[in-house]
Every structure is written in structure tokens, then in C-alpha cells.
Structure 1
Amino acid sequence: MKKKTSIIVCSTALLLSCLFIFTSVDKKICDLFMMTNKNIKENEKVVLINIDDSSIEKLGSFPWTRDIYAETVLVLRELGAKNIVLDLNFVDESPYKSLIDYDDFLKNAIKVCQNVSVPTVMVNDRILENYDVNYIKQNFEIKNIEAVNDTVTPEYDSIWPCIDVFSKAAANNGFVNAEADADGSLRRTHLISKCDGKYYGQLMFNILLKELNVSKVKVSNDKIILTIPATEEKEEYDYIIKRDSEGSVILNYVNKDFFDYNNVTAWNVYRIKLLENDIVQNILQMEDEGFFDYTASFHSPYDACEEFIKAKDALFAKTDGATDEIELAFDEYQDAKNNFYETINEYLASAAQELLIELADKDQETIDYINDYFDVINSQYKELVDSRSAVEKKVSGAVCIMGTCASSTTDYSMTLYQKRYPNVGVHYILANMILNGESIIYDLPWHVSLIFALLLSAALAFVFEKVNGVGKKILFGVLFIVAGILIPFVVFKIFNVYTGVVIPFVSIALTFIFLIAIFIIAVSKEKIFLQSAFGRYLSPKVIDSYIKNPDSLKLGGQKLWMTAMFTDIRGFSTISEQLDNPERLVALLNKYLTKMSDIILENGGTIDKYEGDAIIAFFGAPIYYEDHAVRACRAAVQMKKAEAELNEEILASGECPCEIFTRIGINTGDIVVGNMGTNNKMNYTMMGNAVNLASRLEGVNKQYDTRGILISEATQKEIGTNFALRALDKVRVVGVKTPLRIFELIDETEFTSDEQWALIEKWHKALSQYEKREYEKAKKLFDSICRADKKDETAKLYSARCTKLIKNPPPAKWDGVFNLQSK
């Protein structure tokens, strides 16, 4: 039954946890795991060219006219940018085409740079017009690609490129599809897509294939393998990019603000072209005003300026030429520009300004005019050189990614570190991840976490059944729930694999909740049963111990040092005869047993059994108390006091024709206690010689006419000074050769009066004389006690015994020990 229940519980919990497959909770937990990782290293050769708020503020409303992009691209190429990625929307022709053909200008700039990549979009169910899609398909599919059982790469019906003039001019095209998750977070992207069965690369991925000089791409459902050819430093190797179940790659974002990435603003790049243009215009104006006619002895910058302008025109005239022709024209353009810079620097450093001032012949207006020109050009040239140097330091040899990040634009998503993240940063992150050879984080399919959840839930159910006690069950439940989080976290930290936390966590938590609920219900039923069945026999604490540890209700015993108690009603058969009505007899007995049993239970005792009017009980098991003997004696004293109250009640009501008198025997010793019987019927009971002695002492009360309570010497040693006692004879019981002293229990010390203490002291003096065979002296003291307490039948017994011994002294060898042969 337990096994069946566990299977049902685990199955139900697992099914309910499957509801979380369709949520983004696991993705958010993966975000938290990723935040514990060290930042990926940022590659200095990956640079963002940010179209930010400051750039838009200085260059005008966005989108800009395309000559700005053209000049920016050209400057980046001039300063040594290895690859330029334009993450910009060029799907429509320029709205300003009627004024200036800006599209043609940008096309020429893209073509002469020969390293510019432009975006495409993979689309479904779209009819495209005015786009040479076949050109894209023929020229930009990934070469040397091998697909093996690839079913997860998304496939599209068509391709939507930027306008043809840019697509055909660009060195590379690539798709920029990037869909955020339902919660708005952009966590992953596809590196490859398919159209008509052919593979096309993501915009940045295509650049990285060239950067790494990849010779072969192998694609399967779970990974993309890039074969990197051998170099002087390294042998050929494979770089593995793990994919998720949908074929995408998790983006490992850098833990910093986007604007703290390695970047240059678009304004800082474009300003270089503006400064160049300003200097060119000033040089041309100085030529018109004859500055260089008066300084002919110096190398005139005008000639270099004209060469620079002609070289740029020649460069753009070569855009329809072969690649090597364009490259040659670009080199000539660079040479002309460098010469232009050098000539200006030489001219400004020469004495040309002093010569012109000297020729002005102290005409202050002319002198100021000359100084103003030179000051402006000096300032512009210094700013130009500084700007070029700063930008060149960043972009030389780098992959430059140009895109929008201005607050007025809409190309934003959310990441684990930023609520408003410019999407152009995805290209930056991809480049840093792959160029630096970072281990790619990936997640396993949901069915893996389902299997993990099943194993842990089943293990929890197994352990839950084996351990006892609600505390231990809760502890193991919490441990398993923690394990459901901790194990995936450790796997993530070691292997960069996210195995899914939500399904295991929910499954284990629900399994624990269901099992603990079933357990509590079962315990409640068992508790009700035990309390009902044993409430009259065991104390509430003992019952609770059974409830907490039901396994203790098994056959078996153990030897403990504890205290046994036997009680019996004097002359109960006579009472039974006088109460000829059985119902009255049962009612009286039940009232008596209830009152006495409650006292035993209140003092921590366990009722072994009832034998008619007799009660057999013990103290110190199953819950062990160090003061078990004290508890037993206190219970006995309270029982005798309760007896007196009960007698008043039953005599007054006529429930009993005479007083009830209880005899109690108490002994402490080694007692075997435990569940005895069979598995189907057992009794928690005690046995042993110490038990027999307690039973004997109950009967010995009759022989000594005590007030009702006799305890053994062993018990007397255990209780210390907590009770008022008076010693009686040394006796020898059947089966025990060594004689032992028995004691009559009078009362608890704190409730014993001074008169009682005086009589007890006189008693012990009389007993001492009696045992010394000074019977006449002893008799006088016993008689004195009898006179003081006319109900002391034990003192009368000892007085009568002294009378006999005076007449017939015992043999000289008699040791004073009485043999107890019967009860």
C-alpha cells in the first residue's frame, strides 16, 4: 500500500510540475545562475560605434541622411577597421533621393571599403518585390557547411535583404532576426537559419567565420562545430558552440552597463570627416585670397589638398571596377590624404605665418586677419589629429559594430543586467564570446529535468518511508528540495550546462507536501487510535512517544533499572459479596481504578495491567526518568490520600458498605520491559525478580499491618530524603539468599508533621533495641508509640512480638531475619 501511495504521489507531483514547461521561470533562474559567473573577457578588437543621444543631438534628427553613414564608414576604413558591421535598417530607398543620391553615395562608400556587412531579415509568408533575393541566396549562403540530422534550425520561406544597391556592394550579408522571450528578455539568438534548404548566417556570425578563418562548419541539433585551420601558433582544432533544443545560443552578457562596453560614439568618428572638410575649405579659401602666393617658398598645402580631393573622386569612380582596382585606388587615396596631413603640418610649423605678418607692414587689421586664419587652422588640425589618434587607437584592426542606442529609438530589449538594453549589443556579445573562445552556456531539453525530477522525487519517497518522526521527515524533505536547486547549480558551474530547476523543485516540493500531508493524516488517525486504546493505561507522554516512534511497538524487551508497583484492595471479595448488585460493584471498581490510575499516569508511570481490583504499574519505561523511584513513592502516597477522600465519598453515598484499604508494594531493580506476545497481539509489560519482590511486598503489608505502603531497601536508597520512612525487619524472599530491609512509607518529607517525625525517631530507637535483643526496653517504646497513635497496628505487632520473645528468647544463632514464604 505504501509503495502504491508513493507511486501515485510522485506521478501526480511530476504531472503538476510539467505545467511549468510552458513558463519562463526556468529562463529567469538560468539568468540568476549566469549572474554568478565571472564576466566574459571583452576583446579589445571588438568595438561598438554607438549612434547615441549625443551623436543625434550634434548631427540632427534620426534617421540621418545616408551621406553621414557613408562618411563614417569611410573614416573607419581609413583608420584601419578590419570589419564594419552596419546594424541599421536600409530596407527602403532614401527619402532625400530627389535632392542628392545619398543611396549611391553610401553604396560607393560600402563598396570601396570592401569590409562592410549589412543586415537581412529571414521572413515567412512574405512576397518580396524589387529585391534581388537570388543574389543573396547565391552569394551569402554559408560555404563548406555539413548538416547532420539537423532538425532544430529554423527554416524560412523567404529573405528580406536591405536594398539591392547596399546588399550587392557589401562584403557580407547576414540576418538580424532576434526575438525576445515572452517576458521581454533577449536571452538567446540563432546563429544560422535556413531558406530553401540552404544555410545562412547571422550578421555577426558570418563576420566571425571570416575572423577565425573557419574552413568547415558542421551543424547538428545540439551543436555547431567550427573547424579552425592550423596556424604557426596552433594546430587545427574544433570550436564547439552548444545549441539549445530550438537551435539557438544563449547570450552570455557582460555584467556592466551597455555604455561601458568598448565603444566610440558615431559623432566622434564622423567629426573627423567634418574637421577634414573644414580644413579643406579653409585651405581653398586661403588659396583664393592669395595666402600661398606670398609664401611660395614654402610647400603649399593647396596642391596636396587638390590631390586629396582628386584621389577621393578617383576612388569613387572605381566602385564598378575589380576588387584589386578598388584596393589600389583606396591605397592611392590614403597616400594622398597622408600627404595632405603632412603638408599642412609642415606648413603650419614653418615661418609662413611670420612672413605674411612681415609683409603686412604693420597693418594691424591685416595682421589680425592672418593670425585668425592660422589660429583656426591650427586649432582644427590639432583637434583633427587628436580625434583621429583616439579613434584609430580603438578601431584599428577591430570589428566595428555600428548601431543605434539612443533613447529616442525603439531597438531595445531587456537582459539579466539591464531593463533597457540596445539590441546592437547582441552582436558585440556574440563577437566577444566566440572570438575569445568562451565556453558556450547551453541548456538541456526539458525532458532531462523531468527525468532528474522523477529520480529525486522517487528517492525522497523512499527515504520518507524509511525514516521515523516528523522532524526527520521534514529535514530530509528540505534537504531534497535544496538538492533540487543545488545539483543543477553545481552542474552549471562545472559544465556550463543548465539542466532546469523549476520542474525538479516543484516536483520534489509537491512530493514532500503530499507525503507530509498523508503522514500527518495517518499519524492523526493513529494518534486518535492510540489515545483511545491506551489512554487509560499509559501517560500522555508515553502515548506521544509511541506516536513519534511507532516502530517501538514491536516485539522485544530491554533490561532497565526502574521501579515496579503492585496494588491490591484489602478484603475486596467481602465487598463484592456485600454488593450483590454487579452493576454497583463495577461502578465502584471503575471509580476507584480511575482515580488511582490517573495518579500513576500523572507521575509518569505506565500501567502494565489490571487484575481485578489490583493495579500493576512501573516507572522508568518506556520514557526513562532518573527519579523513577521518587515518582513511584509519590504516586503511592497520593493514592493513599486519594483513597481517604474516596472513602468519605462512597460511604456518604452508600456506594460501598465499608472503607476501601489499598496495599501497595514498591521495589526498584533490574527489570526486563518491552512488548511481549505475538506480532498480532502484544502487551507492553515487565518481568524479573525485582517485579516479583514488589508483588511480595504488597502482600507483606498484611503481615505487618502497615498503613498500606511497603518499599524495598533498593527503593529506599533511590529516594534519598524525599520521604518519611520507618524501617521494618530484614527479610529473605524466595529465590534470594541475601536478606534485605523493608520500609514503611509514611509521607513526603515536606508534608510530614513534627509529631510524626518524633514518633518515627522513637520508632527507630525501639527497632534498634529490638534488634539488639533488648526486648523489654523496646517493648516500652513500642507501647509508647501505640499510646500516641492508637491506629498504629504495626507498633502493636512489634510490642506483642517483644512480649513473646521476652518469655521465649530466640536461639543465640538467630539473625533476626524473617523468611517470606508467601504473600
Structure 2
Amino acid sequence: MLVVKIDDVSMERVGLFPWTRDIMADAIVFLREMGAKTVVFDLSYLDRSPVKVDPAYVQNELPGYLDYGFEQINSAVAQILDSIAGQNPTRDELEAYRDMLIEFNSGIKGSLDTSIAYVTRDVDEYFAKTLKFFGDSYLTLTMINANDIIGDEKTFNMANHDTEWLESRIALTDLSVQHDTKTPEAIGIHPAISLLLRSAKNTGFVNADPDADGYRRRVHLLHKFNDLYYGQLVFVPLLDYLGNPEVTVTDSAITLTNAQVHGTGTTIRIPRTTDGSILIHWPDDETPLEKYSNAQYIRELLYEGEQPDDGITFATYRDYREDFFSSAAKLIDPAYEQAILADLDPDDTELTEEVF
């Protein structure tokens, strides 16, 4: 596991945390490019983001579209005026010229409207596309317990949340229960907004209460809501990594049957404490968790300033990465994908198998 941290240098270059979702979306594309298999966000995206103006587009691209549009209008007007110069057109002819000019300008207006629409960017839509583009992406849930509600009425309104998706796609399915009285029961779930929830591969809850001295030594791997079981944020992608083994829950343990470890089916028994949680095994001082910033990772991976074995210099990689990001929005656009697939030769079996 590699932890890519958001450090002081990152915040100096990008801005104070939390970063906007388009920045996190670019990070997803970058991690996919660097070969990451799974990306897990320990952040709760509970509300829609405000629409964001794209300053780079406004400064670098929009002026060109506007200039081209008005040049087309000027050219059309000049051609019509030149065609009637020195003539005495009838009223019907003038009306015909007028209609031609209006029709032409209407087409230009449609083109400019499209160009202006890109001034603003729905960062949630972009973030959702990158979550789907990455594939193995995971977001958070917050399980609402009765003690979280202030007041006598211990209820949580689920009307504005995507209950259907939670129950059909997020709740654990390959699970059997044999006398479980210790799994906490929630009165509600607060997930990410539906657009993001439905774009990620899965989600897991992040509830983790500290011990009395402030340290977190234990965590629940399961919570229940409406008699369905939901997994913790690390546990859910771990189950996928292990080939989605059958999960058996008892008061004493959570057992994973036929978990795939290095290609071999294995039974893993995770003992539970008296309250149903599991104790976390912290690494000792001799095996500290390694952390990297983006820059550190790239430097160590590509040997900045040197020539790696694969022949890619750091400068070449930097240029390639810039090109990659400039094409990312197009790459995750379903319409663009369909256009590519439409050009495939269905008789080219080798290429078709590689694509699919």
C-alpha cells in the first residue's frame, strides 16, 4: 500500500485543503496513469459543489472561438453587401437576403452558445466521470447511530438519500449470520451525493470512535441498517481484493471463506472483541508506514534527471503527463468512446479482443 500524502508543498502549489473536486478528479486520473489498482477516498461528499468557472478556458480558448464566430458573421455580411452593390434589389430579394443572414447567424449563435457553455464546469460531473473511469474507486458512508441524534426523537430522514442504490448495490450480499448480537445497528445512512455514489465502484463507512484516552485501537468492520450489513471503508475494498469471499458473522468472529491469497483459497478468521469490534494491530517502530508526496513518488519512480531502463526521462514523462491531462476529459467522455468504437473493424478479431 502506498500513501500519497497531501503535504505543505502540495498545499502551497494547489491551495488550502480541502481541495475542490475537479482537483481530486485530476488526482484520480494521475493515480490511474501511475498504475494504482484501487483508490479510496476518506472524504465525505455530502453536498453538490458550486459550478466553477474555468479560467484557463476563458483566457486561452474562448477568445479564439469568439473571434472565429464574429469573423464568420462579418464575412457573411460583407458577401451579401457586395452582391447587392450597384444593384437595385426588389423588396422580395432584400427579404431573401435578410432570411439568409438570419439563418446563418443562427448557426453561428448555436456554435458560440456551445463555446460559452464550457466557461463553467460542473466539477461534480467531472469527478463522477473520473471515478467511473478509474474503475476500482471507493467513497465513504457515515452510519447514523441513535447517540448521534440530539434530542428525544431518535430518527434520521432517509428521503433525500439514494436508499435503493444502498440496499441493492452497497449492502453486503455474500454474507451469512450465525447468532450475531454485537454488530451495531444504525438508524440511518448518510452517503455521498447520488451522482458520485453511483459512479464509484463501492463505498464503506468511516465511523471509528476513539478510546477514552483519544487513541483509536479498535474499529467495527460491519454495521447494520434495516437488517442489511454494510462494510467499513477498508474492509469493502479488501473483500474485493480477496476475490469477494463468503463472509460469516458470529459474536466471536468474522470469517472469510475461500479468500484468494496469492491465488490460493484460504479461510481467514478475524476475532471480535466484546463489543463486536476488532483490535487494530499497529506497526512497530521498526516498520514505519512509508509516505510519499507526488513529487517524491515521481522522482523515485523515474529517477529524475537520469535515463531509466525503459528509456523515459523525467522531462519526457512530464510532457507526456501534460498531454495526458489535456486529453483526460475527452477520454472519459462516453460519446468519444462510442466514436472510437464505431471506427473499429468488427472483422479485426485481434484488435476487438484487445479493446474489450
TM-score normalised by L of structure 2: 0.62
Alpha-carbon offset, residue 319 of structure 1: 8.4
SS at match of 2:160: coil
2:186 alignment partner, one of 142, 156, 165: 156
Matched residues in 1 for 2:194 and 2:256: separation? 30
User: Is structure 2 residue 332 aligned with structure 1 residue 316?
Assistant: yes
Alpha-carbon offset, residue 96 of structure 1: 4.8
User: Is structure 2 residue 96 aligned with structure 1 residue 67?
Assistant: no
Query: Which residue of the partner structure matches residue 279 of structure 2?
Result: 250
In structure 2, do the counterparts of structure 1 residues 90 and 150 end up closer, same or farther at CA, with 3 Å as the change threshold? same
Query: Which residue of the partner structure matches residue 202 of structure 2?
Result: 172
In structure 2, do the counterparts of structure 1 residues 268 and 105 end up closer, same or farther at CA, with 3 Å as the change threshold? farther
SS at match of 1:252: coil
In structure 2, do the counterparts of structure 1 residues 66 and 231 end up closer, same or farther at CA, with 3 Å as the change threshold? closer
Amino acid at match of 1:250: L
Alpha-carbon offset, residue 214 of structure 1: 3.4
Alpha-carbon offset, residue 158 of structure 1: 1.1
**1:46-445 aligned within 5 A:** 46-97=1-52, 99-124=120-145, 125-229=155-259, 234=264, 236-256=265-285, 260-266=288-294, 279=319, 312-318=328-334
In structure 2, do the counterparts of structure 1 residues 60 and 209 end up closer, same or farther at CA, with 3 Å as the change threshold? same
Does the Cα contact within 8 Å between 1:223 and 1:242 map onto a contact in 2? Answer: yes
Q: Segments of 4+ in structure 1 off by > 6 A? A: 269-272, 275-278, 319-322
In structure 2, do the counterparts of structure 1 residues 269 and 315 end up closer, same or farther at CA, with 3 Å as the change threshold? farther
Matched residues in 2 for 1:269 and 1:129: separation? 44
Matched residues in 2 for 1:253 and 1:281: separation? 36
Matched residues in 2 for 1:217 and 1:186: separation? 25
Alpha-carbon offset, residue 92 of structure 1: 1.8
Alpha-carbon offset, residue 232 of structure 1: 8.3
Matched residues in 1 for 2:286 and 2:144: separation? 32
Deviations 1:663-718 (A, max 9, x none): xxxxxxxxxxxxxxxxxxxxxxxxxxxxxxxxxxxxxxxxxxxxxxxxxxxxxxxx
Does the Cα contact within 8 Å between 1:176 and 1:202 map onto a contact in 2? Answer: yes
Does the Cα contact within 8 Å between 2:26 and 2:325 map onto a contact in 1? Answer: no
Alpha-carbon offset, residue 310 of structure 1: 8.4
Alpha-carbon offset, residue 77 of structure 1: 1.1
Alpha-carbon offset, residue 264 of structure 1: 2.3
Amino acid at match of 1:249: I
Does the Cα contact within 8 Å between 2:25 and 2:127 map onto a contact in 1? Answer: yes
Over aligned residues, Cα RMSD in angstroms? 3.3
In structure 2, do the counterparts of structure 1 residues 269 and 173 end up closer, same or farther at CA, with 3 Å as the change threshold? farther
How many equivalent pairs are there?
A: 251
Matched residues in 1 for 2:219 and 2:235: separation? 11
In structure 2, do the counterparts of structure 1 residues 313 and 183 end up closer, same or farther at CA, with 3 Å as the change threshold? closer
Matched residues in 2 for 1:90 and 1:47: separation? 23
The unaligned stretches of length 5 or more in structure 1 are 1-45, 283-304, 329-823
Matched residues in 1 for 2:169 and 2:157: separation? 21
Amino acid at match of 2:38: N
SS at match of 1:156: coil
SS at match of 2:121: coil
Matched residues in 1 for 2:186 and 2:275: separation? 14
Alpha-carbon offset, residue 66 of structure 1: 1.3
Alpha-carbon offset, residue 187 of structure 1: 1.0
Structure with higher Rg: it is: 1
SS at match of 1:94: coil
SS at match of 1:199: strand
Matched residues in 2 for 1:316 and 1:248: separation? 40
TM-score normalised by L of structure 1: 0.28
SS at match of 2:267: strand
The unaligned stretches of length 5 or more in structure 2 are 54-119, 146-154, 302-314, 345-356
Alpha-carbon offset, residue 194 of structure 1: 0.5
In structure 2, do the counterparts of structure 1 residues 319 and 123 end up closer, same or farther at CA, with 3 Å as the change threshold? farther
Alpha-carbon offset, residue 188 of structure 1: 0.4
Q: Per residue, is there more helix in 1 or in 2?
A: 1
Alpha-carbon offset, residue 103 of structure 1: 1.2
